[in-house]
Structure 1
Amino acid sequence: MHKAASQLLTLEFIQEQLEQLPLLPGVVFELMKSDPEGETFYEDMIRLAKKDPPLASLILGHANSAAYIGKGAVDSIETALARVGSHTILQILMAISVARVFLPSKEEQRNIWRHSLEVAQISSFMARRSCFPHVKPETAYMAGLLHDIGRFVMLQIAPEALKKTEVRGWGGSEELIEVEQKSLGFTHTIVGQMACKKMHLPKLISNIVRYHHQHEVVRHPKVPKDLADLLLIIQFSDALSFYLATESGWSKMSSRELHQKIQEEVISSHWDESFLPLSELVDALPRIFQDCESACEVLGIRK
């Protein structure tokens, strides 16, 4: 499903190739509807894991990983789920399910996977804050995980055509869009929306994929509250991930300094900053990135 580097990459070609792309496994849609606080959550997760042995193995591996060092080995899926916790296990299952379609086998794909996991982790944290009552953390996580699905698709279909955008794109989200538009004539957000339609993803996720680089959409009067809130979360998390990737010394900054840097370098004028729990987020970032590392370990992604 690769395109010759000399051949022009077009949306028509991408649409044709999308027909060959495997659908996301049905478990993804089950997971998106799951309630980690529900009475039957663990029973549902055990059922899903036991009918998918490779999935169960990955869950066991995570429960015995360095993230849980000193707690002793576990050898049953029931014990593994209890150790890891409902929210974490749901996130891991979502990531594994998506990874089966978009295998992170190349360096470019691993870079996008790491970024997507960071956005997903940050978004999930943001959604758990009371200022976003319309957004479920699980929905925020999946939206963060899939927000760059267009990049995944383009790398699978025509990796050679994206070399120029890969070299320059990670300098910032705005630069990435500009380079794609100039080099290809379209952006990964358009391709992502096409992929969402092909995979029958919910309209809410599709709109996040399409508009996550358009900050002005958040305040549009016709945008529904649930979309506006989730879009703000994803846009902020995306911008923060880009910033932290370029600011290698952020973990050594004081909380006050990092808070100020985020306000200056990340916050868009289109967002209502009062809805962003920055102080809590700054304190939680080390843990969030530790969780991201654990997810990368499960998926076999390395720097």
Structure 2
Amino acid sequence: MIARLVELDRASRGYSDEVEELVASDPSFAIHIVAAANSAASSPASPICTIGSALARVGSSAAVEMLISTGITRVFVPRDEWERSLWRHSIQVAIAAREITIRAGDTGLDANEAYLGGLLHDVGRLVMFQESSDLLHEVDDAPWDSPEGLLATEESVYGIDHAALGAVAAKGWGLPGRLVGVIEHHHDPSALLPGTVSRLAEVVRLADAAMFPSAMADHIGYAGAAIDTVEDNLMPLVSGWMRLDAVELHDLITETTLRADSIGSRLGV
């Protein structure tokens, strides 16, 4: 990914768009740029919660220089299919969260903020990976079959679950409180006070559940499932304001899977 940044032609008319596409495809890139845009040095009048706004604040060229020059531009470098699945899931949930928000219509939510929330929702798992990939393998190999089971397994192995760890990390990086709330409560949006942040968390929870199976190697997930399966497993997570039925959600999952695969192919991941 760093090589792709280095290869960008700064004189190209599409330079800024190419930078945004790369930043939007990598959780650690997004963390660095959004944190920089919200830093005391940048002094934004209000929290910056989208990648486009962050790049506008920092500047595309400055952003590229920042990412290339730091020694921690990546939380992890995927080396095998299991590691690629961590990256793939982040991209899929980001795309799905944006599409769910767009299809919901006039809800007061920003689709680009939903994208960033989806991209970063599992950043706690990436931090766990950095701490010990063997322990994360132990978590993923355990016989849990629900989000609650995953969180409990992480708690027993790491002493903290990925949602809580992600929130701690996000606060430490200086990310806006809205994003911290989504990261911390993407499995339990009801813990948040009603409002746009709780709705963003609801969107990310649905996107996470919808895309989880298809992130696994050789697993087509809900894109290959019957509509009845989507109805039974996912529709209970669909709030009325989202304006989605089972067929529309199934189509959204299929489109998201194809788009994420296309991005992965272009980036060589």
TM-score by length of 2: 0.69
Indicate the structure whose relative CO is greater, using CA pairs within 8 Å and at least 6 residues apart.
1
Question: For residues 249 and 186 of structure 1, what CA distance do their matches in structure 2 show?
Answer: 28
1:98 equivalent in alignment to 2:28: yes
Contact 2:85 2:215 in 1 (8 A): no
CA-to-aligned-CA distance 1:163-188 (integer Å, 9 cap, x gap): 31022378543321121122233201
Counting only pairs closer than 5 Å after superposition, residues 112-261 of structure 1 correspond to structure 2 as 112-131=86-105, 133-168=107-142, 171-217=145-191, 223-244=193-214, 248=220, 250-253=222-225, 257-258=226-227, 260-261=228-229
Structure whose alpha-carbon radius of gyration is higher: 1
Question: For residues 127 and 142 of structure 1, what CA distance do their matches in structure 2 show?
Answer: 12
Q: Which amino acid aligns with 2:208?
A: D
* Runs (4+) off by over 6 Å: none
Q: Which amino acid aligns with 2:254?
A: P
Distance 1:210 1:89, change over 3 A: same
Distance 1:233 1:169, change over 3 A: farther
* Structure 1 runs not aligned, ≥5 long: 1-51, 61-75
Contact 1:243 1:266 in 2 (8 A): no
Q: Give the % identical residues.
A: 22
TM-score by length of 1: 0.62
CA-to-aligned-CA distance 1:219-260 (integer Å, 9 cap, x gap): x6xx1411121011000001111244577464445xxx42x3
CA RMSD of aligned residues (A): 3.2
Contact 1:165 1:176 in 2 (8 A): yes
Structure 1 SS opposite 2:92: helix
Count of aligned pairs: 221
Counting only pairs closer than 5 Å after superposition, residues 50-89 of structure 1 correspond to structure 2 as 54-55=4-5, 57=7, 77-78=12-13
For residue 286 of structure 1, report the CA deviation from its aligned partner. 2.8
Question: For residues 19 and 144 of structure 2, what CA distance do their matches in structure 1 show?
Answer: 29
Which stretch shows the higher mean deviation, 142-151 or 94-103?
94-103
